[in-house]
Amino acid sequence: MRSDSADCKVLAATLLAFLAAAVDARAVEEGPGDWLQKMATAVQTTNYEGTVIRIQDGIAEAIKVVHLVADGVVRERVIVQEGNGLEIIRNGNEVHCILPDRKSVLVQEWDDQSTLFSTLPTSDIQFGSEYDVAIVRQDRVAGRQAVMLAIRPHDGLRYGHRLWLDRETGFPLQTNLIAGDGEAIQQVKFADIKIGETIHASALQPSTNIDDFRWFTEPQEGRKQEIESDWISNNAPSGFRLTSTHAEESPGMGGSTKHMLLSDGLANVSVFIAPHNGDAEVRRARVAASNSFSIAKGEYRITAVGEVPAETVEQIARSMQPK
Amino acid sequence: MNEGIKMQISAFVDGELPAAEAQLLLRRLSQDFDLRQQAAEYLALGRALRGQRSIAALGDLRGRVVAAIDDKTSEEEFAAIEAHGRRYLRPLTGLAIAATVAVAAIFGLQQFTAVPGAGTAVAPAVVAEAPASESYTVPDIKYFQRHSQFSMESGFSNFETRRVSFEIHDDADLESGLQEIEPREEPGAERTVVEDQQAP
């Protein structure tokens, strides 16, 4: 004969299994668009503190992050734990970048909501023609239950994304940028994280004494004006459309430069058209997952830059023609 | 990554892994991209938890790599990485080069390029493993910055681009291209009198 205690255990186990199944079903029922919306809200409103492991080109580094939003103002401290110990302290739009080995502080203005997660896709993106988005599976990251989303491009001319979103809050616990061969070319993953807990004021103070540091800022941005484009891409990869064109006069940009922004809804590519200085060399460069390709055409140098594969910036730069 | 590999890597860092096993480990790391990523993550996390910015006794570790591979090319590769930082990383061809590059990547390239007391502790995170058929150039960072800034205004931006822009400044003379200003109040300073914030 079964005891009451045993019956209770069976009942409790059944109830727990039912609740877990209900939560899993809810995670799937909500749909990928709902999760992206949830993620966008979480990134803008969540207070968190943790250690991020960032891997790029097989090189890993640990970054300590403290992020606090109060009265709509973002306060943040990001410390790269290795190398020169770059430290970023943010209060709203004002950002102090502390370079301890140079005993210098660089002051900048940033407009976005998060230092780490500013390249995440948003729910506003129109998926379908160039990308598919799907919930892949339930997973576990940094000790928390996560829902894994995959954003898969239809061709090799743009990157895919894998997102592990905290099931409770939608916060991105891990993001991978995926190349055409399926390899993760960039990974940002929380090794540990505290979400929604009290953050002490001291956690947002610089870790270095900067009393005798020199302070710098960048020169004022040059004039920028929206113009009608007199250049056109005649062979951009499918889905890339011109979203804006500006004329810019910025220091170091070599006179007046046209800046065109092309987007497929998720990936952005800038095309800069500047007066040609006589250098006919073809230039390829890469910064993290961003590629650039620069080529001389007549009196101009065309430079395409974006978070897309090298072939894509090359195809776009080569496709630019005067109207 | 299984516990056995973790133990092997830890033993290698500590100089306790027999030479034959060390060579096998390096060979495996040089051939397995996923394993390198996992090992890098494991070691970076360990350093972060211990509050270390660099590996202790790095010279010994470098010596162990050279000894395990038993190839002078490895020493030359380390010297080149020291001189050129991440710009130097090459396709992984040949065990000596492959293992050296893999180890430099896994244990943190900056560990090998750091020169105590020098101003250029970190090489810019720029070009890595360029295909042999293509020549990469040092990026014209102003275009990356403008793209990042403009994308940011459109709702996108790139942490790495910003970071590299600091390191480019760091690499060059800060006084050129930047404007020196009076020290400002640290953004966090006023918070010393603010109550600790309770999460919503």
* Alpha-carbon distance A166 to nearest alpha carbon in chain B (angstroms): 17
Check A118 against B197: CB less than 8 A apart.
Answer: no
CATH number of the structural domain spanning residue A56: 2.50.20.10
Check A198 against B199: CB less than 8 A apart.
Answer: yes
C-alpha B40: how far from its chain's center? 10
Pair (A146, A278) in one structural domain: no
- Asked if A235 and A217 touch (Cβ cutoff 8 Å), the reply is no
Q: Is A256 among the domain residues?
A: yes
Residue of B nearest to A211 (CA): B183
Q: Which residue among A183, A217, A251 closes a domain?
A: A217
Check A286 against B86: CB less than 8 A apart.
Answer: no
Pair (A204, A74) in one structural domain: yes
- Asked if A8 and A29 touch (Cβ cutoff 8 Å), the reply is no
Q: Please, what is the end-to-end C-alpha distance for chain A in angstroms?
A: 88
Q: What is the pLDDT of residue A139?
A: 92
Q: Is A9 among the domain residues?
A: no
**Secondary structure class of B52 (helix, strand, coil):** coil
HSE at residue A31, side-chain half, CA atoms within 13 A, is 4
On chain B, the residues whose CB falls within 8 A of the CB of A219 are 177-179
Distance CA B97, CA B100 (A): 5
Check A62 against B44: CB less than 8 A apart.
Answer: yes
Check B186 against A75: CB less than 8 A apart.
Answer: no
Q: Which of A93-97, A141-145, B166-170, B193-197 has the highest mean pLDDT?
A: A141-145
Residue of A nearest to B182 (CA): A215
As a whole number, mean pLDDT of residues B175-197 equals 58
Burial of A226-243, coded b for 16+ CB within 10 Å and e otherwise, reads eeebebebeebbebbeee
Q: Among the residues of chain A, which ranges form H helices?
A: 4-29, 31-45, 310-319
Pair (A274, A309) in one structural domain: yes
What is the pTM for the complete model shown?
Answer: 0.69
CATH number of the structural domain spanning residue A292: 3.30.200.100
Query: Strand A59-70 and strand A214-217: pairing?
Result: unpaired
Q: Is A1 among the domain residues?
A: no
C-alpha A268: how far from its chain's center? 12
Higher pLDDT, A149 or A180: A149
- DSSP secondary structure, A156-215, as one string: TTS-EEEEEEETTT--EEEEEEE-TTS-EEEEEEEEEEEES--B-GGGGS-SS--TT-EE
pLDDT at A69 over 60: yes
Query: Which of B44, B163, B183 shows the shortest C-beta gap to A60?
Result: B44
Residue of B nearest to A254 (CA): B142
On chain A, the residues whose CB falls within 8 A of the CB of B166 are 86, 97, 99, 106
Residue of B nearest to A102 (CA): B119
Q: Which residue among A217, A246, A264 closes a domain?
A: A217
Pair (A155, A203) in one structural domain: yes
Q: Is A186 among the domain residues?
A: yes
Confidence category of residue A222, pLDDT binned at 50, 70, 90 = low
Q: Is A25 among the domain residues?
A: no
Q: Count, in order, helices (H) and strands (E) of chain A.
A: 3, 21
The domain in which residue A286 lies consists of 224-322
Check A115 against B110: CB less than 8 A apart.
Answer: no
Q: Which of A39, A53, A59 to mutate to test the interface with B (most CBs of B within 10 A)?
A: A59
Pair (A247, A131) in one structural domain: no
Higher pLDDT, A102 or B88: A102
Q: Is A133 among the domain residues?
A: yes
**Secondary structure class of A151 (helix, strand, coil):** strand
Least confident of A115-124, A189-198, A279-288: A115-124
Q: Is the ipTM of this complex over 0.90?
A: no
Q: What is the mean pLDDT of chain A?
A: 82
On chain B, the residues whose CB falls within 8 A of the CB of A252 are 142, 177
Query: Strand A94-99 and strand A268-275: pairing?
Result: unpaired
pLDDT at A16 over 80: no
Q: What is the pLDDT of residue B190?
A: 43
C-alpha A211: how far from its chain's center? 33
Pair (A311, A236) in one structural domain: yes
Higher pLDDT, B117 or B109: B109
Residue of B nearest to A207 (CA): B188
The structure tokens 């065309």 sit at: A302
Q: Is A14 among the domain residues?
A: no
Pair (A41, A178) in one structural domain: yes
Higher pLDDT, A169 or A219: A169
Distance CA A36, CA A172 (A): 10
The structure tokens 């928390």 sit at: A144
What are φ and ψ of residue B61, in 5° steps? -60, -45
Q: Which residue among A196, A217, A238 closes a domain?
A: A217
**Secondary structure class of B163 (helix, strand, coil):** helix
Higher pLDDT, A73 or A1: A73
Closest by Cα among A148, A120, A147, A157 to A266: A120
Q: Is A20 among the domain residues?
A: no
B174 Cβ under 8 Å from any chain A Cβ:
yes
Distance CA A95, CA A229 (A): 34
Angle, CA A153 vertex, CA A148 and CA A157 arms, to 5°: 135
Pair (A196, A245) in one structural domain: no
Pair (A194, A305) in one structural domain: no
Distance CA B29, CA B104 (A): 11
State the helix-helix crossing angle for B19-31 and B3-13, rounded to 10 degrees.
Answer: 120
Check A118 against B156: CB less than 8 A apart.
Answer: yes
The structure tokens 């109060």 sit at: A70
Pair (A109, A178) in one structural domain: yes
> What would the two tokens of residue A9 be?
């255990």
Pair (A64, A116) in one structural domain: yes
Closest by Cα among A261, A265, A272 to A303: A272
Query: Which of B141, B178, B186 shows the shortest C-beta gap to A96?
Result: B186
Query: Which of B40, B53, B197 shows the shortest C-beta gap to A85?
Result: B53
Q: What is the pLDDT of residues A74-117, one digit of tens each?
A: 888 988 887 677 888 888 888 888 888 778 888 887 766 666 66
Pair (A183, A277) in one structural domain: no
Q: What is the pLDDT of residue B124?
A: 32
Q: How many domains does chain A have?
A: 2
